[in-house]
Structure 1
Amino acid sequence: MNDTAIRERLSEIKKLRTDNQKNTAKPRIEPVSGFYITLKYVVEYILAVIAFVAFLPLLLFVALLIKSDSKGEVFFKQKRYGHKGDEFMIYKFRTMIQDAHKLQNKLSHLNEMNGGKLFKTDNDPRITRIGRFLRKTSIDELPQLLNILKGDMTVIGPRPISTPLSEYDENQLNRFKVKPGLGCIWQAYFRGETDFQDWMYTDTIYVENMSPKLDLRLMWIIGKNVVLGKGAR
């Protein structure tokens, strides 16, 4: 599935968008099954093991930098919704000052994410000196290799976010039929753009079209984006 096909499918889904299908209770989500999804999880788990071993010295060095740069824990931990809508704790390197979440309401006017369900801004004053570098290079995401090793995530799949399941319409809930990943269509083609609904619908496009070719293509494009710092916040 190429760039043009993804954008055309996104336009089709947006035309069918409805806001009256939101759920008030946790829905029953049937996960994707079959040979490819099983193979995908096994192969990507092995890749994560190799990456964790390779990046371990860097992880330890970054942990020391964070501790020397500002007060607080090395890791940022937060509840996210993943496979089948189940909750899990995600790990990132801490890139903000201690207790940054307590200041978010005061900074709501800076939010650039359309839809208001996530907070993203290029000018977040809570980000530390080392944190800005970690975000620009996506090094802050490396601790999620631990999430893969725990079985909560995989390499390519919808990004895990903290928005409750009740905030999604029926079509968007399809994103939870597979494990969340380190990278997705949004990061490959739309990273840095700020429409929450479009982001959710690209995840459903991924679930509809998941294949070895698409996964390899996304790995390549996301890897290139990371090296070039494209769209990082």
Structure 2
Amino acid sequence: MREDVGEVTTSLHRPTTDSSRSKPVRYESFEWPQQQQQPPSNGVPRSAWNRQHRRLSRWHRPYTAVLVFLDLISTLAASEIADVFLEKSKSGFQHKSWLFLQGSALFTFFAYVVLPLGWLLLLWTNGTYDRRYLGLGSEEFKRIVRTSVTVVAAVSLLAFATKTDLSRGTVATVSLCALLFILLCRVTARQVLHLARRRTGHGAHRMVLVGTLPEALEVYTAVTRSPAAGLIPVAIHITDGYAAARGIETPVPVYAGRDVLSLVREVGADTIAVCGSASAEPGELRRLAWQLEGTGVDLVVAPQLTDIAGPRVHIRPIEGLPLLHVEEPTLSGPGWLVKNLLDRVVAGLGLALISPILAVIALGIRLSDPGPVFFRQTRVGHDGRTFRVWKFRTMYVDAEERKATLEELNESDGMLFKMKHDPRIFAFGQKLRATSLDELPQLINVLKGEMSLVGPRPLPADDGDYLGDVRRRLLVRPGITGLWQVSGRSDLSWDEAVRLDLYYVDNWSLTYDLSILWRTIWVVLKRKGAY
């Protein structure tokens, strides 16, 4: 922790300090202008087309250029596929239509110039290149799907206005192919960006956290849980005086009584995050926003709403006062009904399709250790109701008796017993655990309505009553996979696992379920935290 001697202030605005201490520092992705002029603090509007200083964070410029190139290639490839489709379908049409424009200059112009450029224009107007949506979350993909609908509507309207006999199959082919190619390229580009952020730190935002020390540390913990988010706190500016941080170990240097802008310049940051109660003074926050105009520094506000996702939070301005309205979790309704139906259908089809695999696994267990194929244990489910979970047995038959002698070797800090090298697990069972194949019989519990495909982890029923925050997990059915499984599995602490389960309960959605199922595939392949 670094002590910074200066006048202690609880205000966000500029105090009187010695600015000679702040010197320009160069980083690979950041360079503060040598002749930086302090922008006026009265909120004088600036032209978006003629900024005095560009954004300090430059990773999104080459990244956006790559996305534009990939989108263009995707739309051209879709037009080429449609061209091939037209060639094969031409013989089936005997009337004059757009099919017979194939090979002409007009067809080439529309298929390989107008349509790709139209895609790029609509992708831009729909905000798919907005850096706020790049690299994290599903908003980027939602906007791409919205763009595809707009393209189909525009092409159909143009064909109707010009009375062009347009092949519906052609429109469907080119639109669907373009959408799939663009989504595939965006997913690939995002994975490369996440990999760069995890391994090298490139493509990330350097943040200065402003607020009280507890609030700043809470935001620090939240943004650093996921390196793929690309948010790297590099300093904390506390607003309640430096004395509040004395004797406390902090992960980044702590400052007090400093001019926030000069501090940003000194540590090489490009983002200021105002945390918790530091944003409670609208006048001070507004003045800070004025000061940042034209500097290229981003301003974000982290309100005191932890673990609540965006769909539950709505801004309702009243007489210029922005109020954050927090909706209740959606644990019923049509979406919940669709989830239940999807669970039953997928479980039934899954059991039918993988039955040969289940038979082979059962044979392997019997050959490895005499005893039952399945392990049945009582677990706590929805609303505290108990049920018996189905799993392939991976331990010797006397595992429960031997557990008492291994209690002192427990590596878990919560209600579950975990050992990385548990001697009670036989060799074939270890392979089943590493590949998560021992969980497949839980599809029986899903088919019976006792579990879900996605949900919190089912906890043993013999560990006492679950009270407090833990009991909130019982508002939904436990799942075969869940947020904790795709976030570290057994490598997580008990508190972190509970936090992730509660986050899922509070922010459930069908889209979120599909995202977790997709992430589960990669987690299983990597075998991270499986023991």
> In structure 2, what is the Cα distance between the partners aligned to 1:163 and 1:123?
25
Aligned match of 1:145 = 443
2:392 alignment partner, one of 93, 109, 123:
93
Say whether 1:80 aligns with 2:374. Answer: no
Change (3 A) 1:212 1:197: same
> In structure 1, what is the Cα distance between the partners aligned to 2:501 and 2:416?
16
Tell me which structure has the larger Cα radius of gyration.
Answer: 2
> In structure 1, what is the Cα distance between the partners aligned to 2:493 and 2:444?
29
Aligned match of 1:131 = 429
TM-score (norm 2): 0.38
> In structure 1, what is the Cα distance between the partners aligned to 2:374 and 2:432?
12
8 Å CA contact 1:114–1:194 kept in 2: the answer is no
Matches within 5 A, 1:102-141: 102-115=401-414, 117-141=415-439
- The letter of the residue matching 1:68 is L
Aligned match of 1:48 = 347
Cα offset, 1:172, TM superposition:
2.1
Aligned match of 2:505 = 207
1:64 alignment partner, one of 343, 353, 363:
363
Aligned match of 1:228 = 526
Aligned match of 1:197 = 495
- The letter of the residue matching 2:430 is R
RCO greater where, 1 or 2, for CA within 8 Å and sep 6 or more?
1
RMSD, matched Cα: 2.5
> In structure 2, what is the Cα distance between the partners aligned to 1:170 and 1:52?
36
> In structure 2, what is the Cα distance between the partners aligned to 1:142 and 1:53?
12
Change (3 A) 1:73 1:6: farther
8 Å CA contact 1:92–1:141 kept in 2: the answer is yes
> In structure 1, what is the Cα distance between the partners aligned to 2:491 and 2:485?
9
* Per-residue deviation, residues 47-68 of structure 1 (Å, max 9, x unmatched): 1112111110000111111111
- Which sections of structure 2, spanning at least 5 residues, go unmatched? 1-135, 138-193, 195-221, 227-301, 308-329
- The letter of the residue matching 1:213 is T
8 Å CA contact 1:153–1:180 kept in 2: the answer is yes
Cα offset, 1:33, TM superposition:
2.1
Cα offset, 1:228, TM superposition:
2.1
* 2:422 alignment partner, SS class: coil
8 Å CA contact 1:44–1:155 kept in 2: the answer is yes
Say whether 1:35 aligns with 2:300. Answer: no
* Per-residue deviation, residues 41-99 of structure 1 (Å, max 9, x unmatched): 11122111121111100001111111111121100000000011100000100000012
Higher mean Cα deviation, 40-49 or 120-129? 40-49
- Which sections of structure 1, spanning at least 5 residues, go unmatched? 14-30
Aligned match of 1:219 = 517
8 Å CA contact 2:331–2:508 kept in 1: the answer is no
TM superposition outliers: structure 1 runs of 4+ over 4 Å: 1-9, 163-167
> In structure 1, what is the Cα distance between the partners aligned to 2:464 and 2:417?
18
* Per-residue deviation, residues 146-179 of structure 1 (Å, max 9, x unmatched): 1111110110001111055855342221111111
